[in-house]
Amino acid sequence: MTEPAASSLTSALKTLAVERQSLHALEDAFAQQLGQNFDRAVNCILNSTGRLIVTGIGKSGHISRKVQATLASTGTPSLYVHPAEAAHGDLGMVAPGDVILAFSNSGETAELAAILSYATHTNLNVISITSAPHSALARSSTISLVLPVVKEACPMGLAPTSSTLMQLAIGDALAIALLEKRKFTANDFYIFHPGGRLGARLRPISELMHTGSDLPLGKSDISLRSVILEMTRKAFGCMGVINETGILQGLITDADLRKALHHDIDATTAKEIMNPSPVTTSPSTLTQDVLALMNDRPKPITSLFIVDDMHRPKGIIHVHDLLRAGLI
């Protein structure tokens, strides 16, 4: 029973070694003409007045679909057009000012002929990703990103493996280079990803925080008895201490209360037992950063006040709110 497992592990490690070598070859190629053409391709896409039309068929088609999805979600308006469907009416999806990004390892994919011919007739820029510098695709391109010829991980050299990995890598490199050029932020990313756990992580905390009368607040001169009553009513396990102008001066937690219970609860004031330097954040902070702020410390925080530029409390968040939002 152990021999097949060992054989499979050997095969897996061999595949990873071959594919790692292909990525090294791709990296080396960037120091040559590929790097110059890559920079031209990024500028071509940035300076276009339309969208990026991504196309490819077969294994290259699968890669091109993934790259297009990454581009769209990181700020580059793009869509995938199937090359065979393009010849049967979908060329109507391509508009003036668009740029074509075509994937084909061999560069001789017959199905690309229609979209390449249309690009020529309508003066659209074509960026190709291929391993064949003298192929029909490369010759039809405004900019050709020629990948190095590498050994496929498939022992027969037939199934696209190393070559598709390089296509994916250079597609991701394009998406990230464009993201950085556009100064695409996490807030921008949230706009395109409002759903699921990823969307939850990228929401500003202002969308989750409790506000108004829900806030557990009291002035610095109130008695310990009043502090206990306020904390019990609001059930956040803490109370913010504010001054006459509403500025947050400190924080009292359950732990602070336990330490002070031997005091006279009517004579002791909030100011005497508060923490004068509580951790706070702003309403625009992303929920993922709030979670890190609350957890990444020797003693994790269960509740956190959100304050404005004047340090006035605008909201409060409890770790249970983050749990309900799907962050934990």
Token digits of residue 149: 């010829």
Mark whether 177 and 225 lie in a shared domain. Answer: no
| Structural domain ending residue among the three candidates 184, 217, 246 | 184
Mark whether 161 and 263 lie in a shared domain. Answer: no
Which DSSP helix (H) or strand (E) runs through 203? none
Beta bridge partner(s), residue 130: 146
Supply the mean pLDDT for the chain: 92
By CB atoms closer than 10 A (0-12, 13-18, 19+), residue 87 is middle
CB under 8 Å to 157, separation ≥6 — which residues? 151
- According to the model, what pLDDT value does residue 125 have? 97
Mark whether 279 and 177 lie in a shared domain. Answer: no
Is 178 among the domain residues?
Answer: yes
Least confident of 69-73, 79-83, 185-189, 216-220: 185-189
Minimal CA–CA distance to 319: which of 293, 285, 297? 293
Mark whether 52 and 98 lie in a shared domain. Answer: yes
pLDDT surpasses 60 at 131: yes
% residues pLDDT > 70 (the chain): 95
Mark whether 143 and 253 lie in a shared domain. Answer: no
Is 306 among the domain residues?
Answer: yes
Report the distance separating Cα 305 and Cα 314, nearest Å: 8
- Local structure of 129: helix, strand or coil: strand
Is 155 among the domain residues?
Answer: yes
- Pairing verdict, β 313-318 and 303-307: antiparallel
Q: Show binding-site residues.
A: 82
By CB atoms closer than 10 A (0-12, 13-18, 19+), residue 298 is exposed
CB 327 within 8 A of CB 288: yes
List of long-range contacts for 140-147, beta carbons under 8 Å, 24+ apart:
140/116, 141/102, 142/44, 143/37, 143/40, 143/41, 143/44, 144/37, 145/34, 145/37, 145/38, 145/41, 145/170, 146/29, 146/33, 146/34, 146/37, 147/26, 147/29, 147/34, 147/105
| Structural domain ending residue among the three candidates 132, 155, 184 | 184
Least confident of 74-78, 114-118, 151-155, 199-203: 199-203
Is 156 among the domain residues?
Answer: yes
Q: Show binding-site residues for Zn(2+).
A: 82
* Mean pLDDT along residues 195-224: 88
Is 51 among the domain residues?
Answer: yes
Mark whether 304 and 229 lie in a shared domain. Answer: yes
| Structural domain ending residue among the three candidates 153, 184, 215 | 184
Token digits of residue 25: 């070859």
Q: Could you report the per-residue pLDDT of 261-292, keeping only the tens digit for each?
A: 888 999 999 999 999 999 999 999 988 899 99
CATH number, position 57 = 3.40.50.10490
> Residues 208, 209, 210, 215: what is their CA dihedral angle, to the nearest 10 degrees?
170
* Mean pLDDT along residues 214-238: 95
Report the distance separating Cα 293 and Cα 123, nearest Å: 52
Token digits of residue 82: 């199937």
Mark whether 87 and 12 lie in a shared domain. Answer: yes
- According to the model, what pLDDT value does residue 200 have? 72
Q: Could you report the per-residue pLDDT of 144-173, keeping only the tens digit for each?
A: 999 999 999 998 888 999 999 999 999 999
Is 273 among the domain residues?
Answer: yes
Is 195 among the domain residues?
Answer: no
Beta strands in 56-124 (DSSP E): 78-80, 99-103
Q: Could you report the per-residue pLDDT of 180-202, keeping only the tens digit for each?
A: 999 987 777 766 666 666 677 77
- According to the model, what pLDDT value does residue 7 have? 87
Mark whether 178 and 212 lie in a shared domain. Answer: no
Mark whether 138 and 265 lie in a shared domain. Answer: no
Structural domains of the chain, count:
2
Domain assignment of residue 209, given as a range: 205-324
Per-residue confidence band for 1, with pLDDT thresholds at 50, 70 and 90: very low
Mark whether 167 and 218 lie in a shared domain. Answer: no
Is 212 among the domain residues?
Answer: yes
CATH number, position 221 = 3.10.580.10
Mark whether 52 and 177 lie in a shared domain. Answer: yes
Question: Inter-axis angle of helices 33-47 and 2-29, to 10 degrees?
Answer: 80
Mark whether 248 and 105 lie in a shared domain. Answer: no
